Structures are given as structure tokens and as C-alpha cells.
Structure 1
């Protein structure tokens, strides 16, 4: 657990250097030894942080040459995300992809007309939020909760509820970032919601699982779009 905490800190410190422009796009990160000395950590801990940055598509490693900045996330990330929270937000998205993907799978098998009506209501509220330039976190959350409820297994809802604070932090971040973009960004996110809904309505479990996992993974990646 201590190593994880240290690697999270290193991850966010390196990310801050990139966001602040200290290391430009295409620029090479300091050597592992220099980073270890700067942050007071071991190489295994640093490598965990670098691995996460590669998975986030922020850096790329080249055999024998080191690691280079692939893209610079917007400074707005640091405006909307609490200090020290980004690594945790990213792990929350991993959790959501797993739990909500399976919830969507079972929702497609077990949903009732009332469940579909709840999802539809949340989507219509999100449509309104997009038209009027509102954040829409409450409606977004309502849509995802309705899917967990439609899975008709209390443990999906319980697992998600246990992480609700983290989930809402991630939603606030991604939707705030989307509001800084042209409206097409919010419409893209909404099209992903409709893809999930359509698969559940069509009683296609595999398509529902895939649509949900893609949506959550896309949300994770959108945090670091430059």
C-alpha cells in the first residue's frame, strides 16, 4: 500500500510537470535515476508511475532511449480535480468499467419497462442539460444508477454506492472538461449513453457490456486529451 501511495505521488508529480509545460510534447523525461533522486523513491515505485502514464497515453517509452511526452493534458484538469486525486480518479474508472460493464450485461437480460423508462428519463434530462449548457452530473449519475438497478442484483448497486463519492468526483471532472470544449464533445458522450441504452432495450447483453466498457474507458481517456 505504501508503494502504491508513493507511485501515485510520483505519477501526479510527473503529470504536473507535463501539464505545466516543464516537459513539452515530444520532450524527453529525465532519466529514471534523476526522477528517483528528485522524488526520493525507488526505481520499482517510479516504474509503476511511468506504467500508469503510458496507460493514460500521456507518455511513450522507446527502447534504449527513455520516455517521451506524447500529449499534454489541459491545465483545466488541475482546476477541476482536487490535488492528489487524479491517480485515484483513474482507478475509479477501472472499477466502473468492470462493475458497470457487467451490470449493463445483466440489465439487458432483466430490465423491465419501468427500468427503461428511468433510463430514458435520465437521457432526456441530459439532452436538456446539453442544450442549455448545464453540467448534468445528477442526470448522468441517475442514468448509471438506473442501469445498476435494472441488473436486478443488489450487489452491483452496493458496490457502486460504496464508491459514489469517487465516481461523482470523476463525473464532475469529465463533464466540466467537456463544457470547456465545443458542444460536439457533450454530444459525443451522449451518443455513447444512447448506445448503451439501445443495447439494453434490444436485450443484447454482449453489446450492452461492450458499450458500457467503451464509454467508461473513453471517459478515462478524455481526461488527458490535450
Structure 2
């Protein structure tokens, strides 16, 4: 009886938090500067695959936290980073060794996140994860960097755990994630873009498949292999 109730609570929590974490990934990706207007509510709801009431709850929470602000009749805007700073924060990455340490930390953190997501098996969260994976491919097809979609994918894995501390810890690392992804891509200049992007998509697909099938060990290893691939793409190109 207790485990059934706990499972239900995890599912409800996942739905409540999903829109918030997707928005957090969007505004923390580095592509939106302070004062930048967010896309319209309908656009964001369709992009994240959530209802407008759920999106509005997430926007209200972000406003209360000082991460965004509203202008009547105009929409929602990204706040200055100083106004949106939280208790949990990390210094900027200052060197190549620092980036490597950060990626190694992510490998451990997100490996366990993927394993936990596979164990929980929240079908709604896994459906959202599939959509996030598809959006990375769509961004690549349009010739875009896909960085915010990539970050949203990783946030969706963390959200699929049903454990808010995974998502909130990753949320505190958004700026470092964006920087490290850009650096990996910039310093992988000798590698053709198309094969590199396909490798990322294939790695993401393996993560989704393992989580969907509830295979905790394979999910953990697929995520660790994915981030290890980023380390290899960065340091083998130098």
C-alpha cells in the first residue's frame, strides 16, 4: 500500500515540476540574455508538450524566484542573473582542467540520474524525454546548435527520476553545462559536424531506450558513455 502511494506521488510531482525544469533549462542555456523576451505561452507549451495551465504555474514560480519578470501586455522576460541567483550555485569554469573535472562530475551525477529514471519508469516523463530527444535532432536538421534542446534533454532525464534534488542540482549547473557543451563543439573543429551530431543523437537514443525498458545498469552506462564521449571529443581534438 505504501509503495503504491509513493509511486503515485512521484508521478504527480514529475508532472508538476516538468514545465518548470524545461523553462529553467531554456533560460539558463546561455542563449537568452537578461532582458530577452521569452517565446509566447502557446509556443512554449507546444515546445515542451505541456498544458498552458501547467506552463503558467511554472512561469509564476519563476517570477516568484526572480528568474523572470512580466510586462503587462508584452510577455515574460529573463531577469538579470544577479536577481535570479539561488542558494545552490557554482563558480564559472575557468580552465580546460576545470571543464574536465566538471564533465567527470556530470558523468557520475547524471549516470545515477539515468539509472533512477529507469527504475521509476514514469511513462509520462519518458514520453517527454522522447520529445526532448526528437527536438535535438530537429534543431540539428535546421542547422542550429541545439544546445538548449540538448540541455533540456538532460534536464528531462533528471526530471524523470521523480527526485527533485537531481533536477535542482542540474538546474544550478545550467550555465556551466552550456559553456562546456559549446567548448566541446568549438574544440572539436577537426571532426566533421554531421558525424559528431549523429554520435550525440545515437548516444541520446541509447539513454532513452534503456530508461524506457527499465534497465537501470544500461541506463547508467549509456549516460556515462555519452558524457565520456563528450570528454573524448574535447580532449582527443586538442
Q: TM-score range by the shorter chain?
A: 0.5 to 0.7
SS where residue 236 of structure 2 aligns? Answer: coil
Instruction: Name the structure 1 match of 2:100.
Output: 90
Instruction: Name the structure 1 match of 2:220.
Output: 209
Q: Does structure 1 conserve the Cα–Cα contact (< 8 Å) formed by 2:188 and 2:234? A: no
Q: CA deviation at 1:199?
A: 0.2
Q: Does structure 1 conserve the Cα–Cα contact (< 8 Å) formed by 2:93 and 2:176? A: no
Q: Which moved more, 1:215-224 or 1:168-177?
A: 168-177
Q: CA deviation at 1:94?
A: 1.0
Which protein has the larger Cα radius of gyration, Structure 1 or Structure 2?
A: 1
Give the Cα separation in 2 of the matches to 1:118 and 1:165: 23
Give the Cα separation in 2 of the matches to 1:178 and 1:131: 19
Q: CA deviation at 1:147?
A: 0.5
Q: Does structure 2 conserve the Cα–Cα contact (< 8 Å) formed by 1:179 and 1:186? A: no
Instruction: Name the structure 1 match of 2:181.
Output: 171
Q: Any stretches of 5+ residues in structure 1 without a counterpart? A: 1-81
Instruction: Name the structure 1 match of 2:154.
Output: 144
Instruction: Name the structure 2 match of 1:197.
Output: 208
SS where residue 195 of structure 1 aligns? Answer: helix
- RMSD, aligned α-carbons: 1.9
Q: CA deviation at 1:113?
A: 2.0
Instruction: Name the structure 2 match of 1:22.
Output: none
Q: Does structure 2 conserve the Cα–Cα contact (< 8 Å) formed by 1:137 and 1:175? A: no
Q: Does structure 2 conserve the Cα–Cα contact (< 8 Å) formed by 1:119 and 1:146? A: yes
Give the Cα separation in 1 of the matches to 2:132 and 2:189: 19
Give the Cα separation in 2 of the matches to 1:109 and 1:208: 9
Change in CA separation of 1:146 and 1:87 when aligned onto 2, cut-off 3 Å: same
Q: TM-score, normalised by structure 2?
A: 0.57
Q: Any stretches of 5+ residues in structure 2 without a counterpart? A: 1-91
Give the Cα separation in 2 of the matches to 1:186 and 1:180: 13
Q: TM-score, normalised by structure 1?
A: 0.60
Q: Which moved more, 1:177-186 or 1:87-96?
A: 177-186
Give the Cα separation in 1 of the matches to 2:154 and 2:181: 11
